[in-house]
């Protein structure tokens, strides 16, 4: 019997096994569209499938569950590393910024990023993850973060404060794009976990989600408007995203459109 390629496929396979026995029903919690969306109790499925004479499928099922768990842990560790790098990014960006309003905003974001590090360390503790564990993916995140910091230092050494500020804006946008994506994925993971793990991750996500939205969309607005100013075009400073307290992609798009109409 080939290993099913999805939760739905697994459900079909379990049903097939049940029909073979005529009496044994398998309680695997594979219910497409149900609360767990295909979440599987690997131990229960192992016992049921073994009883059906399908030990190879049972072994595959356990490996399948273990791989998903490992990847969730990888995401948490990469997110933690990125937030730790974010502290260094904002600390360096603040040495490049010229606009006083932007400096004040980034100082706030720096303090919030420090709380994000603490939140993810708490998530690691709740999930039984060693927050200091190294993985190849985590090393890549650290390398990228270090490169962003070095890029700002290089720009600052050029002696043009306005140019260095633009580079800092671009770096923050890059960093916050990754950060935003990480937290979106962590939020989805929280929906599929249970117990203390789900509670810790959901609590962190709900506290931080709006902050991440603001960091990304407001800084993108600053970057755009500062570039327009450097090009000799009409710029709106602070950007409309900040004036309208934008925290969604739709809101950011509308704010930019309104700004373009008023130029």
Which tokens is 122 given? 């708490």
Asked if residue 58 belongs to a domain, the reply is: no
Q: Is residue 82 part of a domain?
A: yes
In a domain, 167, yes or no: yes
Distances (CA, A) of 110 to 60, 86, 138: 45, 8, 21
Where residue 237 sits, what CATH number does that domain have? 1.20.1260.10
The residue segments making up the domain with residue 22 are 7-53
Instruction: Give the global pTM.
Output: 0.74
Query: Would you say residue 89 lies in a domain?
Result: yes
**How would DSSP label each residue in 130-153?**
-TT---HHHHHHHHHHHHHHHHHH
What whole-number distance in Å separates Cα of residue 170 and Cα of residue 165?
Answer: 9
Is there a domain that residue 1 lies in?
A: no
CB 90, CB 149: distance < 8 Å: no
Residues 93 and 190 in one domain: yes
Query: Hey, how many other C-beta atoms are within 10 angstroms of the C-beta on 132?
Result: 9
Token pair in block for residue 46: 């192992």
pLDDT of the chain along its 263 residues, tens only? 444 444 444 444 443 333 333 333 333 343 334 444 444 444 555 555 556 665 555 554 444 454 388 999 999 999 999 999 999 999 999 999 999 999 999 999 999 999 999 999 999 999 999 999 999 999 999 999 999 999 999 999 999 999 999 999 999 999 999 999 999 999 999 999 989 999 999 999 999 999 999 999 999 999 999 999 999 999 999 999 999 999 999 999 999 888 888 88
**Could you give the number of structural domains in the chain?**
2
> Structure tokens of 176?
């916050």
Instruction: Assess whether 39 and 68 both reside in one domain.
Output: no
On whether residue 191 sits in a domain, the answer given is yes
């Amino acid at each position: 019997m080939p290993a099913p390629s999805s939760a739905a496929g697994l459900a079909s396979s379990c049903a097939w096994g049940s029909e073979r026995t005529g009496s044994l029903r398998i309680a695997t919690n594979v219910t497409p569209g149900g609360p767990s969306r295909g979440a599987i109790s690997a131990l229960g499925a192992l016992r049921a499938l073994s009883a059906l004479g399908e030990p190879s499928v049972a072994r595959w099922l356990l490996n399948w569950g273990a791989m998903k768990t490992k990847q969730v842990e990888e995401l948490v560790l990469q997110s933690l590393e990125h937030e730790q790098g974010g502290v260094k990014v904002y600390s360096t960006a603040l040495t490049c910024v010229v606009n006083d309003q932007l400096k004040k905003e980034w100082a706030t974001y720096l303090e919030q990023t420090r709380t994000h590090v603490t939140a993810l360390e708490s998530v690691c503790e709740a999930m039984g993850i060693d927050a200091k564990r190294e993985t190849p993916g985590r090393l890549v995140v650290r390398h990228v973060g270090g490169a962003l910091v070095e890029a700002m230092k290089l720009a600052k050494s050029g002696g043009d404060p306005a140019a260095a500020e633009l580079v800092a804006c671009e770096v923050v946008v890059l960093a916050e794009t990754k950060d935003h994506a990480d937290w979106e994925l962590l939020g989805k993971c929280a929906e599929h976990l249970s117990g203390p793990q789900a509670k810790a991750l959901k609590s962190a996500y709900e506290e931080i989600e709006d902050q991440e939205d603001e960091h990304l969309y407001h800084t993108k607005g600053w970057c755009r408007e500062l570039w327009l100013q450097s090009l000799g075009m009409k710029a709106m400073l602070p950007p409309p995203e900040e004036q309208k307290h934008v925290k969604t992609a739709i809101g950011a798009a509308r704010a930019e459109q309104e700004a373009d109409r008023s130029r």
